[in-house]
Structure 1
Amino acid sequence: MSFDPAKPSLISTLVRHYDDLVDHVRRRFGDRGFAREVVHDVCVQLLEKREREDVRTPLALLRKISHDQAVSRYRSERRRQALIVALPDLSEPVCEAPLPPRQYEAAREFERLAQAIAQLPPRCQMVFVMHKIHELSQAEVAAQMGVSLKTVEKHLRLGLAACRAYLDDTDLHAMELAQ
């Protein structure tokens, strides 16, 4: 793109008439800070896009672009504000906290699972915790421990089976005590 001093670019026109563009938007929308943000957005748009060659009146085009950008931004802000105002009208909480009996039961289940994991052999326990608790992939566990993927799979299978058996035994024991 060649530069013709007789035809100023849109960016140079924006820089030269920055205050005029801000005032143009401010007169319509009332807020100088809002107007500055709009003109800055227009500047960013111009920098991101290729320069138009056939612009005869760059200032008029910049005023039109600024006005359109301001309208778009104003509408978007009104929609966002309407959504924020509408949110307190919700009649029920979105997520209720579990009741105390359920909290107690969850804590007991967690404790039993921790006991089941603690009873695993050390290497099996390490694989189980790395994969299930720390959410490492089986390949990452194998690499960190320096073992094969098959070994990791075997330890996971054994760990899951041992945890299930432990939890089933404690459930069975609790039912026997309840009777």
Structure 2
Amino acid sequence: MQAYNELYIALCTRLIHFSASIVSSFHLAEEIVSDVFITLWQKRNNLSHVENPLVYLYVSAKNLSLNTLQQQKKHQHRSIEHINLDILSIAPDAENGMVSAEVSQKIEGAIRSLPARCQLIFRLIKHDGLSYREVATLLGISPKTVDAQLTIAVKKISQAIRFDLSDEIVQTFLRIDS
């Protein structure tokens, strides 16, 4: 029970933002993530084969979010390609005071200017801390595609904000961790 509570505390907000980016509703996303964790608890004895619980939870949230949309028939067809990236927009490290609000706004503006898939990959790796392999599994693409998209994202963000920021700040934030 303690491990379950710690997992919930650590991932709940991240999964809600991820789900909300798909269903475009925080309220609905909260319900979806709650259902994901309830299912996790109910199936806990049968999940010993799961090698990566983080990816398992993200995929569960993605699938339940897409299924919920399909059941509601608000959208005829919606995939991970049509997520609402504005909901994922949490200025990186601003809440921790590591960069100023002005710098965070410039970084967030540069991130928002990226193509949707590129932006999603950047956020999942840089904000949510997923690995290349985890993002590849979650999105059903190859790790090389993730690497290529992240490289594009870093290059475009760096170019967009380099004019206003020192190289040291840019490189500290955009450092690529493989």
Larger Rg: 1
Decide which structure has greater helix share.
Answer: 1
Question: Same fold by TM (over 0.5)?
Answer: no
State the TM-score, normalizing by the size of structure 2: 0.37
